[in-house]
Homo-oligomer: A and B are copies of this chain.
Amino acid sequence: MPRLGMAPLRRTQLIDATIQCIHEEGVGRASVQRISRRAGLSPGIVAHYFDDKEGLLVATLRRLNKRLSDETIRRMHQAKTPRDRLWAIIDAHFEPVHFAPDTVDAWFALWGKVREIPELQRVHRVYEARLRSNLRHSVRPLVAAERVLPVADALGAMIDGLWAKAAQPTTEIDADAARAVFADVLDRVLDH
């Protein structure tokens, strides 16, 4: 069965299985055995492609972040005005594909493991830094200089807070509700 060039496919299979597994059974239940079985592969394969379980989790968070980052960049490129750029960031985070329950769950669960897995922390910091940087750049043309930081942090906190809320099993928050919150608040927070 082994063929050439299977690496990317296998990696994707395993990462997807990890996300599903975390979503449906919880991180605590997301063992190598369960993940690989769900991927239709054997437990040994994880070591082959990711060295160990930590490697798989790190790769999973990396992919999650990459998807979000790609979507953000794509949308920001299309944006014409500073305000549009800000909305591009927000919309990227709450677009149905990335705000889907399994994605949000896995993201939140891995975030919770940051403290235990140093490499995961590094990956998370990259995401965090990029979001913060994007927000500050987008906010800068829209508010007085001394308000750039607090406004960017407020918006970042709202994004994270709404994601965290969406990761709860009984949540009532969905993408539209989240965007409505921003729609109400955003213009008031910016200077005219």
Contact = CB atoms under 8 A, between A and B. Distances in A.
Contacts of A154: 158, 181-182, 184-185
Interface stretch (A7-15, A65-73, A163-171): A163-171
Q: Main SS of the interface on chain A?
A: helix
Q: Using C-beta atoms within 8 Å of the partner chain, give the interface range for chain A.
A: 35 or more
Interface in A144-160: 147, 150-151, 153-154, 156-160
A162 B155 CA distance: 10
Given A26-B113, A26-B115, A150-B184, 9 more contacts: A29-B116, A111-B112, A112-B112, A115-B167, A124-B168, A151-B185, A154-B158, A159-B161, A189-B189
Number of this chain's copies in the assembly equals 4
Interface in A54-112: 105, 108-109, 111-112
Nearest to A124: B168
Contacts of A173: 153
12 contacts: A26-B115, A28-B113, A112-B112, A114-B168, A124-B168, A128-B168, A150-B184, A150-B185, A151-B184, A153-B181, A157-B158, A158-B158
